[in-house]
Amino acid sequence: MSSLSCTNPFIWSEVTMMESPMTRNCHVGFGERYEETHQSQDWKVRFVPTPFSPLLANIALNGIESIHKYKDNKGRIKEPSIRYADDMLIIIRPEDDAKAILDRISVLLAARGMNVSEKKTKLTAATDGFDFLGWHFKVQKNGKFRSIPSADNYKAFRKKVKTIVNNSNYGATVKASKLAPVVRGWRQYHKYCKMDETRNSLYFIESRAYKVFNKETNQNRYTSKKLLDIAFPTVSYSENKHINVKGEKSPYDGDIAYWSKRNSVLYDGLTSKALKRQNHSCKSCGLKFIGEQRVHLHHVDGNHQNWKETNLVAIHQSCHQFIHMSKSKS
């Protein structure tokens, strides 16, 4: 790795940390490894990432973001790096020494029993584009910043969809219900990307699913189209409209109003409108929407065909379940 002189405004580097004795020891006792006592002595026990892995990575790598910093024209300290668990992106200027920065990172990691993965470390110009956390980022010749789902992310998503669509054990109705959360989740994750390209609009994938649905003897083109709408729910996208978390805000700082309002932007359509009308509070219990509990739309008159805005309210998932449970008992 060496420093580069480049006319581009930034050079981007992705740094991924390898498993270390430190994180390996942290995993012991959490059930994150196959039991060695049940394996033959000549078998190699494979490391299995679990939900604990990002947390342990955050603990082990705390402070690494401050290694590369500088002062801007107004004397403010800038730390131009982004890290998610053990995936890290460092933004450097043409005058910065990439090798020196990487050396400082290596020293810090060595002190913690870790090292930089040379295989996964890349130094690249922003105008050439790079992949990070499932997205492909690039600064175009006109200076506009563009982000789209990365090729690997799209391939993994397409594989999941094809597995469901081609499964002969499922009927069209079951396939549609299984596809919906997969497609919605993928579109929601990429809602701040450019999604109007043919690939990202899922045109060909939808066409394939429609043909499979329509081949069933109990389906016709009308019912197949309805199932297709269920299987591929629309999620509105706004390119580059992601809003950063304000200052040093944390979900655990007790600012319920701020986080409730911020979490509301994760929803769109009728749910988003209901949240704004209700000042981001549950219509049933009156509490703010915080935490990971989903927001549900409730039909006030009980008629699920009545989608008028006046008949829809946003409530907690648990409140929704309680309402319907109470109705079934009465």
Q: What is the DSSP string of 274-311?
A: HHHHTTTB-TTT--B--TTPPEEEEETTS-TT---GGG
pLDDT in tens, 143-171: 888 899 999 999 999 999 999 999 989 99
| pLDDT tens-digit map of 238-266 | 877 777 777 777 766 767 677 777 766 66
Of 41-55, 60-74, 86-100, 202-216, give the range with the top mean pLDDT.
202-216
User: Is the pLDDT confidence value at 321 over 50?
Assistant: yes
- Kindly give, in sequence order, each residue whose CB lies less than 8 Å from that of residue 90, ignoring residues fewer than 6 positions away: 12, 13, 15, 68, 80, 81, 101
Q: What is the mean pLDDT of the chain?
A: 78
pLDDT of residue 35 exceeding 70, the answer is no
Query: What would the pLDDT profile of 7-16 be if each residue is shown by its tens digit?
Result: 333 434 333 4
Angle between helices 203-215 and 172-189 (to 10 degrees): 170
Give the global pTM: 0.67
pLDDT tens-digit readout, 264-281: 666 767 888 888 888 888
Strand spans (E) along the chain: 11-16, 70-71, 77-78, 81-84, 87-92, 122-125, 130-132, 135-139, 145-149, 295-299, 312-316
Q: How far is it, in rounded angstroms, from Cα 213 to Cα 138?
A: 38
The pLDDT score that the predictor gives to residue 152 is 94
What was the pLDDT predicted at 228? 93
- In this structure, the number of other CB atoms found within 10 A of the CB of residue 316 comes to 20
Name the more confident of 326 and 171. Answer: 171
Kindly indicate the confidence band of residue 329, based on its pLDDT and cuts at 50, 70 and 90: low
Residue 162: what pLDDT?
A: 95
pLDDT band (50, 70, 90) for residue 59: confident
* Structure confidence at residue 50 (pLDDT): 66
The better pLDDT of the pair 329, 23 is held by 329
Above 60 in pLDDT, residue 22?
no
Answer whether 5's CB lies under 8 Å from 98's CB.
Answer: no
